[in-house]
Amino acid sequence: MSVHPIEYRYGRSEVKKIFDEESKLQAMLDVESALVKALAKAGIAPKEDAEKVSEKATTRLVTVERVQEIEDEIHHDMMAVVKALSEQCGEASTYIHYGATSNDILDTSLALQLKKYVKFLEDDLLELKKVLLGLAKEKKRLVCVGRTHGQHAIPLTYGLKFAMWACEVQRHIERLAQAKERILVGQMTGAVGTQAAFADKGIEIQDEVMKTLGLAPVKISNQIIQRDRHAEFLQLLALISESLNKFATEVRNLQRTEIMEVSEGFGKKQVGSSTMPHKRNPIIAEQVCGLARVVKANACAELENIPLWHERDLTNSSPERILIPEACILTDHMLVKSISLFKNLVFHEENIKRNLGMSGGRIMAESVMIRLAQKGVPRQEAHELVRELSMKSHHEDKPLMDLLKDSGEITAHLDEKEIDDAMNPEKYLGTALKQVDRVLKELS
């Protein structure tokens, strides 16, 4: 019986596979095998034992079901794996788990899982950046009204909006590259971190294990890999999720009936509401915004796993079984959904143009003020002059253009053509197009 929505509703199967019980078990078996191999190289274990363990360390032989049977008897998950592997290896089992403590295996195997996961995460971020850059290029000159405080401000272009988001995704790509150095690490330090069971060969053995597994070794640790690493990674997932939340929130706002400048793609047979047949709801964007709350909450909870008692306790173990797989799976899911959202985004250019003129030209008030200042009118004086006319335009519901042309104080400095130019949104974009071009050049 499925309980968690991740099991049946959210997440790609190939990403969920990384964190399922069989993959988790295989990762632990890989670490155990790498340890015996390192022991053999260090002259502690026979080479043939290492070869035997390597042959048997597979979930085809050491099954999830058998491990669970043993755990039900002994109530220790790691020792259940050790015993199940030992059953398969017979006399070659002597050096299985030799010198290791549970979290040497558990934390290192988690790093192996995350190593697989970050490849999906990198691909997701790169694909989203590509889609956003494509929109930035395509809509570079699509002029729309900018909004501050939910009110119409001055014009900008959709290209600028998408280029800005692409840069944000690029920062996440850079953060991930940095975080990989700190999260894709393993340890083989034994009880409390002294490597005492390995005598003077502990560092050598640890380095060899990690070389086999393709991980970096910790420089120093106690009985667990320190949780600031995992907390940082989940903060990164939360940052990514909140960026997606921001992007999706903008789509939701722009899809409001009263605005309707962009909207999600809507399938021919798609149903928007169980009772209102006309509805076309932004369900993908809303799902992204909702799931971001879960990832953010998980990141906050992971911070609580940093301060453990002395050399370790178990308070991090139970929450991390939920927090880390859940945050990883949901972040990937949100990225996949966001990529689809922006690939299929619909632009309603007639509404974009309508909204651009909705304020009766008042969004061009700054443009007029700047033109007056360029003609020698003191900036504050120009501001007050245009402000008064803008307020009159609002209260009397008259186009600002008409009031400007009827004002002797304005026409004393600007002729009709200059007023027309100052009131043209396409002529008041500053460096918007150049900024988009720069982003496209640097990030493409």
Q: What is the pLDDT of residues 357-370, one digit of tens each?
A: 999 999 999 999 99
**Percentage of residues in the chain with pLDDT exceeding 90?**
95
- The DSSP-derived string for 99-115 is T--HHHHHHHHHHHHHH
Which contacts qualify for 77-85: CB closer than 8 Å, 24 or more apart? 78/28, 78/102, 78/105, 78/106, 81/25, 81/28, 81/29, 81/32, 81/105, 82/32, 85/29, 85/32, 85/53, 85/56, 85/57
Token duo for residue 55: 């042959």
Residues facing 144 on adjacent strands: 156
pLDDT in tens, 374-391: 999 999 999 999 999 999
pTM: 0.95
Q: What is the mean pLDDT of residues 218-230?
A: 96
Helix (H, G, I), strand (E, B) or coil at 263: strand
DSSP bridge partners of 346: 263
Catalytic residue set: 149, 273
Mean per-residue pLDDT for 213-233? 97
Give the strand pairing for 143-148 and 346-347: unpaired
Residues 423/367, Cβ–Cβ less than 8 Å:
yes
pLDDT of residue 278: 78
Which of 217-221, 274-278, 403-407 comes out lowest in average pLDDT? 274-278
The rounded mean pLDDT for the chain is 96
Q: Which domains does the chain have, with CATH numbers?
A: 117-185+224-265+279-359+429-444 (1.20.200.10), 362-422 (1.10.40.30)
d(CA 22, CA 64): 6
26 pLDDT above the threshold of 90: yes
Q: What percent of the chain has pLDDT over 70?
A: 99
Confidence of residue 64 (pLDDT cuts 50, 70, 90): very high
Q: Check residue 273 and give its pLDDT.
A: 66
Could you tell me if residue 357 is left (phi over 0), alpha (psi between -120 and 50 degrees) or otherwise beta? alpha
pLDDT over threshold 70, residue 220: yes
Is residue 146 within 8 A of residue 190, CB to CB? The reply is no
Amino acid at 285: A
Residue where the block lists tokens 């008409």: 402
Average pLDDT over residues 23-36: 98
Give the pLDDT of residue 272: 76
With tokens 């009397």, the residue in question is: 396
Identify the CA nearest to 424 among candidates 364, 360, 341, 383: 364
CA 116 to chain CA centroid, Å, is 16
pLDDT digits (tens, 9 = 90+) for 105-154: 999 999 999 999 999 999 999 999 999 999 999 999 999 999 999 999 99
Range of lowest pLDDT (16-20, 28-32, 277-281, 433-437): 277-281
Distance in angstroms (rounded) separating the CA atoms of residues 287 and 409: 53
In the DSSP assignment, the letter for residue 257 is T
Helix (H, G, I), strand (E, B) or coil at 280: coil
Under 8 Å CB-to-CB from 183, ≥6 apart: which residues? 111, 114, 118, 229, 230, 232, 233
Burial class (CB in 10 A: 0-12, 13-18, 19+), 220: exposed
Task: Please tell me the predicted confidence (pLDDT) of residue 57.
Answer: 98
Rounded Cα distance, 412 and 389, in Å = 15
pLDDT of residue 166: 98
